[in-house]
Every structure is written in C-alpha cells, then in structure tokens.
Chains A and B, each alone.
Chain A
Amino acid sequence: MSVNVENLSVAYRSRRGDVTAVDNVSFALADGEIMGLAGESGSGKSTLGNALVYLDPRMKAAGGTVTVDGKNLPISDNNAMRHRRMTEVSLVPQYAMSALTPTRKIGKMIDDLLKSHRVKDRAEVITELKRRLALIGLKEDVLSKYSFELSGGMRQRVTIIMSTLLNPSLLVADEVTSALDVSSQRAVGEMLTEFRDRGYIKSAITITHDLSILAQIADSIAIMYAGRLAERAPTSVLVDSPLHPYTQALLASLPEVGVRHDQVTLTGIPGRPPSLVNPPSGCRFRERCPFAFAKCAETPPFEEIKPGHLVACWKVSQENADTAGAGQGLPVREKV
C-alpha cells in the first residue's frame, strides 16, 4: 500500500468552535491506484485532499495517521512537510488556472521551484521536463511564456507537470477538470492516467463533483458525505451497482448523453446536507434518505460488504447479514 490514511479528522477553527470537516476517515491506496473522491460542495472532499499535502493555518489535524510508502507523514508539522512535498506528496490546487503567478514566466517559476526544493541536478530535471512537455503535446516555448498567454487547458496541464515534476508518490488533484470544456477535460484526464502508467506518480486522489469524469480515469471511487466516507468501491462496481442510498441518488441525478427530458425525468436529491458546525448524531444522510429507519440514529460503521466495497449504511449492513451465505447479490435500486 503506497498510501494509508487511518481515522483522519481535520477541523477548521471558527469562532463557534471547531468545525470537523473531515471526520474519522480511513482509506488506503495501492501502488498505481487513482482514487476518485466525489461529493457535494461542503462535503469535506477538498479539505481531506488538502490536508494530506498542506494544512493551512485555519485547519488543524484532530487525529489520525497518514503513511506514504510506509513512512509516517507528519501532516500537522509544516516544517517537516516542506521536505516531503513535491517528492512524496504533491497537490494540483483547485482553481489551478489561477495558481500560476502572472508576473513570472513558466520556466522561471519552475526554476524557482527546483531551487527551493534544493534539487541538485537541475539540468537533468529540466531535460525530463521538456520530455514531458513533448509527451503531452505542449511546445517547449511555453516555458518562455507567461501564464496568461496560455489557454485554460494548457495552463491546467502546465500546473500538473509542475506538481509531478519530482515524481511524487501521491498526487492530490483537486477539481482539475471542472473549469475545462469537454475536449480539454479529456486531455487532462488522460494525462493523469498516462503519468500514472509511466510511473511519474505512484498513486493519485482525484477530487471532483463530476462522477462521469471519475468513471473514465479512476480505479476506485470514494463518495464523501458531510465529512464522512459513505461508500468506496472499484469504479465499475460503484457506477453499476452502488449500495449507499446517497450514491444511488447521486448517480440517478446525472443526465446521460442521449437522454432527453421528454423521455426521462431525472430527479435531484431533496433537502440539503447538514451543517457541520453541530452535526446530527447517527447517519448524516438520514434526513434526506428514503430508506431511513430507527437504527439510523446510530452512526453506521464504514464496513467492507464485499471485497474492496465499503459502505457506511445500516440498511446495507443488515441486508448483507440477511443474505450472507445465501450467495445472493445485494438488492440494487433500479436505474431510472
């Protein structure tokens, strides 16, 4: 396992007390695995991703451990993390489009980056950089351009190249495709899988609210709801036979190409996620869940229902217990 996150909690300091945006989250990434992390705004998905790389002053790690390649990652110690970034963990920030400074040329920015990480053989890294630029079809002269001279898709690709230049074990890519149009989305998505295939990155967490992008590039998908993981499964399993009611509702609300309003009426999820300032006890999806019952007042465990398929839902746990040994598949809500 290249990355192992155990019982991680991250809180934001606020005047009304700490807001636990990531609550007791555990998962592991195998070598070469790209995990997609999806959820609504405010579900804590970006906080989780960011905390693994840079815990900004508003945030504090409220418990849990992270190991990368077997070594503990001191996420709350900014000084120690400084030496681990870029080489072990790296982040492509949300709004990567505006993450590039407009006052420095791309090449100069990369040079600064290498200096600050005390890379000895800079010429060699630059050679490799040019090779990678050629690989994804960017010309070398982007290095002598300013960020505003590049199109959105080019900027996004330059940011990813910069973040992965020192071959990190874990890359956290936060909403890298969200601001792009379909053809650039595809180019950036394929660039991530290609970089993984070539070993530039060992594993990656791709954060997005767009499940259909994850279906293309991720090996496994984790669904987050109100600070907790709701479901995690290999991509095909999660997309074709989701078990958690939230995942099912989320998938049912996606229009597919070729579906029109006069044939099928899609439905959204009524209600809103609970506030994290004073979260309700028990299952946090309870209020919006069509299957909620008495047991849901207790917090459901995030348990493995089938190999590699983890779900936090009492209903699923019970049904699984009922059918255990009978060899039957779990009931899946019919697709709309």
Chain B
Amino acid sequence: MTTLKFDQVSKLFRSTARGGGLTPALRKVSFEMQPGEVISLIGESGSGKTTIGRVLLRLAKPTSGTVTFDGKDIASYSGRGLKDYYRHVQGVFQDPFSSYNPIYRADRVYDLVRSSYFPEVGDKEWSDKVEAALDAVALNPGDVLGKYPHQLSGGQQQRLLIARALLLDVKVLVADEIISMLDASTRVDVLNLLVKLKRQGLAILFITHDLSLGNYVSDRTIILRHGAIVEMGATGKIFGNPQHDYTKMLLTAVPELHKKWQHAPLEPVAVSANGAGGGLDAATAEILTSDAPASALAQASILAELTHAEQVVKRDLRAVFGGGRAVASGKSQVAVALEPPALHEFEPDHLVAEPE
C-alpha cells in the first residue's frame, strides 16, 4: 500500500530581491513512498529539497499538483482532520537549538503534545509512554527530563525531538538536515536510530546535502536540481552507477578520507606587477584576454553563478506555467524550463533525467 504520493507537485516562490520574479522551487515532482522506506532527498542549496518536506508538512502550499497520504489529498484536511494528519506526519529540523523555547524546560514539547492530542491520558500512563519513546531513541529519562535546553547536547536535543514525534502515531517522518549540526560522534547515533525506526515500519524522508550520510541510511535516493528530479532510484544503483552528469559532479565533490580530490591548479592569471603603473584597465584587460580558468574550482563557481542566474525568472512565469515553455531569464540568457527534464528508465528502479 502506498503511504505517500507526490503527483506532479510544483511550487513557485515570488522572489523579493531584483524585481520580484518567480522562482520555481519545485517543478512537477512525482514520487511514491512506502511504509518502512527511507528516501534521501539530495541536492544543493536551492534545489527544492526542503520545499518538498515543507509541502508534505503543509507548511507550504503547492502551486499545482497533489500530495496524497493514505489515498487522501492532504490539501483537503482542515481543523480536526488536519490535527489527525499531524498525528501521522511529523517533522524534525536542522537546528535543534531553535526548536526549543529556552525559557522552558526541554520536555515541555511533550506536555504540548499531551495537551493537544492526549488530554484524556492519565499521568502514570503518560509517563510510561514518554519513557517508552525516550527508550526508543536511546535516551535515559533521568538524563534529559526536567532539563533546560542549554543543559542538553545537540544530539540529545535532536533525539528528544524524534521521541516527540514517536509519541504520536507517526507514519512519516520528515528529517530535514537533522544531523548536519551535530558532532561526528553523536551523528552516527542519530543515523542508527533512524535505521532502527525504519525497521519498525516508519517511512522517513531524509533531506540532506551530505551524500555519504544519505547513502548510509536510505533505501532509495532522489537527486534534485533546480526543483526537478534528475535521478531517482535504489540507493545502491544511484551511487554505484550514477548516470546524470549532475549526480556525477556531486559525487566527485564529496570529500572522502582516503581519496584526495583531483586538484588541477588554476590557470595562471598574471602575477601582480608591482609598481608597473599598469592601472586598473590594463589589469582587467589582462584578465579578460587570458583564457577562462578550466579547473574544477572555476567550474564549480560558474555552476554556482548559473544556479543563481537561472532562478531569476521573469515575472509573467505564472501565466506561462503549465504550458511547458522555456522562459529566458532577464539577465543571463540562461533558460530554465518549467517543464522538468523527462525521466527515462535506465534500469529497473533507476530513473534518469535527460540533460537539461
């Protein structure tokens, strides 16, 4: 049975800087998720991975497309129904320190769950439930209950929040960069906890920019770029045999302990002519005449600029939306098509997008 289904979900944001264009954060994203499945959403900043989590948690409303959970469109929930939805779908976010109110004790987050979802539950029963949830995340109740947030480590805070989700009858957990703020030593504990919860049937949307972490926990991987899926399928297949150029580029940029980046030195730009009196224009001309540096560094930076430029999309995008036309951005002549690149099946459970 499909727990969760994204069907052609798009989301446009109106930019605030530079003339208020529309930025497509998601372009017709479709995928399905089963119980007990961990899906990694991987992409750079601005690829739309967090937006997917926010749409699922109903923190952002999709511009078009539908998200269905247990066969029902999540946009249709309101009031009691929405509250019940949150009983099953919960999120944990990147920064545990800002998820707590520093004035109150950290376990107040549990009291809030109790007052909204379990007002009829007795004290004894509730404390048993809390202890069971803490036990599931390998926390000792005596260590954490009654403490203020600043008395807890980042890893403890993050696990308290996961335990909070477990108090509810959670079926889907959105884990948005939950370990990037943690130290290496506590990181693994949280990762292993996710693996354990997954084995108990929890579906986890694991959002990260760290490919090695994504690879460690997930069954399936979705690589996102500019809001569209570029590669999707079984994790082993994506990492073992990446097909899309973008996936390959991401993989070569991952820092590994025992393998050095292939570092090609930059093409020389003429060394500063001290006191030669060249002046600004001569120096600029010198730079311009020398060939563009072809190293990985320059490529990466050009890529970053393209990413930025591509997101500056014209104001009238909404009118065109759905027509699948490419819209040239005002400044850069780089077109970003609203229609995402088509996916084709490279092998079973491994979809690859056409180059864009």
Contacts and interface: CB of A to CB of B under 8 A. Distances in A.
Interface of A: 40-41, 123-124, 126-128, 130-131, 134-140, 148-154, 157, 180-187, 189-191, 193-194, 197, 209-213, 215-216, 239-240, 249-251, 253-261, 265-269, 272
A135 B284 contact: no
Given A184-B304, A239-B258, 14 more contacts: A41-B154, A123-B279, A124-B272, A130-B284, A137-B293, A137-B298, A154-B305, A186-B296, A187-B300, A189-B255, A257-B211, A257-B212, A260-B236, A268-B188
Given A151-B45, A194-B266, A209-B184, A182 B254 contact: yes
A267 B186 CA distance: 9
Contacts, number: 196
Given A194-B265, A215-B257, A251-B257, A41 B284 contact: no
The CB with the most chain B CB atoms within 10 A, among A187, A240, A266, is that of A187
Interface of B: 17-18, 43-46, 153-154, 183-189, 191-192, 195, 209-213, 215-217, 235-236, 239-240, 249-251, 253-258, 260-261, 263, 265-266, 269-270, 272, 274-275, 278-280, 283-284, 287, 293, 295-298, 300-305, 307-308
A181 B45 CA distance: 7
The CB with the most chain A CB atoms within 10 A, among B184, B192, B256, B287, is that of B184
Contacts of B258: 215, 239-240, 256
The 7 A-B residue pairs whose C-beta atoms are closest, nearest first, are A137-B301, A269-B185, A187-B300, A212-B255, A268-B189, A255-B216, A268-B188
Given A140-B284, A190-B263, A265-B192, A182 B253 contact: yes
A216 B185 contact: no
B272 A131 contact: yes
A148 B18 CA distance: 11
The CB with the most chain B CB atoms within 10 A, among A40, A124, A182, is that of A182
A253 B187 contact: yes
A216 B298 contact: no
A240 B250 CA distance: 25
A131 B288 CA distance: 10
Contacts of A148: 17
B294 to A, nearest CB: 11
Contacts of B307: 151
22 contacts: A41-B153, A130-B280, A136-B266, A137-B302, A140-B284, A151-B46, A183-B249, A183-B303, A184-B45, A184-B300, A185-B253, A186-B253, A191-B297, A210-B255, A216-B261, A251-B257, A258-B239, A260-B216, A260-B236, A266-B188, A269-B186, A272-B153
A149 B17 contact: yes
A216 B260 contact: yes
A183 B18 CA distance: 25
Contacts of B279: 123, 127
A260 B185 contact: no
B256 A256 contact: yes
Contacts of A127: 272, 278-280, 283
Contacts of A157: 301
A93 B128 CA distance: 46
A184 B255 CA distance: 12
A181 B44 contact: yes
A137 B293 CA distance: 8
Contacts of A131: 269-270, 272, 283, 287
A183 B250 contact: yes
A266 B62 CA distance: 38
